[in-house]
Amino acid sequence: MRSILLTVCVGLIAFSLACTKKSAGGTAGETQTASKATAKAPANPWEAFGVGSYAKQKMTSVMNMAGKKTSTTSEMKQTLVEKTADKAVVEIETTTMGMTNKTKMDIPLTAPAVTAAATTQAPPPLSTGKETLTVAGKSLDCQWVETETNQGGNKSNVKVWTSSDVPGGAVKMVTKTTSPMEMEVTSELVEFAAK
């Protein structure tokens, strides 16, 4: 279960960055349909930050299968531990059900952080917009994108908020899967430091 949650969280962060490339400008709270969006590629989400910068997310997963409801909570902390002109090395520490796993990921700074495969697999957005969210007493100007997928019979609605003020970019993500099982995964930024 722990490895599944880690994979989902890392995948959704990559997904959010791919979708951010497709989102458009506007004012806080403004919503745009996908047809009105204009492409604007963001900078790499670790490029502007120094070693020691981090973002901590809390993820809650609630699943309802055959009338039985289960809930899992995990935390993920991404810390920039090394940075050169070409790459950022991010340590990802995930804690689920009392067990902690650490891994490191090299992220190229000379190319977009999202791989071409992730970008081409990202579904087109239903809508995009801007919204101000408050995290740990700090107001963050966020871009958000909402998408819908239907893969292998699993229908999901995903809404992702990102901010260039947060190391790694991810602020909040809500995924709701409605069939064949019901599941809601919410990942929210709870703490961060930009150095």
Q: What is the pLDDT of residues 134-151, one digit of tens each?
A: 988 899 999 999 999 888
What pTM was estimated for this model as a whole?
0.74
Nearest to 15 by CA among 164, 186, 179, 159: 159
Instruction: Determine the Cα–Cα distance for residues 23 and 32; give it in Å rounded to an integer.
Output: 9
Q: Does residue 146 contact residue 128 with C-beta atoms inside 8 Å?
A: yes
Q: Which domain holds residue 18?
A: 2-193
Q: C-alpha dihedral over 177, 153, 74, 15, to 10 degrees?
A: -90
Question: What pLDDT digit, counting tens, does each position of 28-74 carry?
Answer: 344 433 333 333 444 689 999 999 999 999 999 999 887 889 999 99
Number of domains in the chain: 1
CATH number of the domain bearing residue 20: 2.40.360
